[in-house]
Amino acid sequence: MNLCVTCDPTIARGHGLGRHTVPETAMYSAVCAIQNCWLAARAENVGVGWVSIVEVDAIRRILAIPDHIVIVGYLCLGYVSGFDTEPELEGKGWEQRVPLADVIHFNRYAATDPRRAETLAQRCDQGATNEVR
């Protein structure tokens, strides 16, 4: 199944709550909805792929999506024979995961403390390991 997720940034539902100060809020909500869909699908053994190589104008024309509507994502959903144990980009050698400690900042952007970050990352890993047991 193909699913096109859109966002209408002009809609007045919710009285514009949050959009007055952060106009991108509606878009963020749409992205959160995609993630929730993805997590629910995975729990039901349904695979999800976010198709990033698309012709947006073609999708807009085929689905008759008005110009003011933002196409947030185009997804493919379906039953799969299995799930990879690692992210596909990593498994195919296209990209490597960044260590968690490398992306932790303290109190402000670029305020790094490698030793403190590594300790925190290890605690996160231990917590995840304990949950699996």
Q: Which residues of the chain have pLDDT under 70?
A: 12-18, 128-133
Rounded to 5 degrees, what angle do the CA atoms 8, 61, 52 make? 75
Where does residue 26 rank: exposed (0-12), middle (13-18), buried (19+ CB within 10 A)? buried
CA–CA gap between residue 13 and residue 10 (Å, rounded): 9
2-94 CATH = 3.40.109.10
pLDDT, tens digit, for every residue of 18-56? 677 788 888 999 999 999 999 999 999 999 999 989 999
Q: Please, what sign has the CA dihedral across residues 28, 26, 52, 86?
A: positive
Q: State the pLDDT at residue 84.
A: 86
pLDDT at residue 82 in the model: 86
pLDDT of residue 133: 41
Between β-strands 2-7 and 70-79, what pairing exists: parallel, antiparallel or unpaired?
Answer: antiparallel
- Conformational region of residue 72, where left means phi above 0, alpha means psi within -120 to 50, and beta covers everything else: alpha
Work out the number of other CB atoms within 10 angstroms of the CB of residue 122: 12
Domain ranges of the chain: 2-94, 98-133
Write down the pLDDT at residue 9. Answer: 85
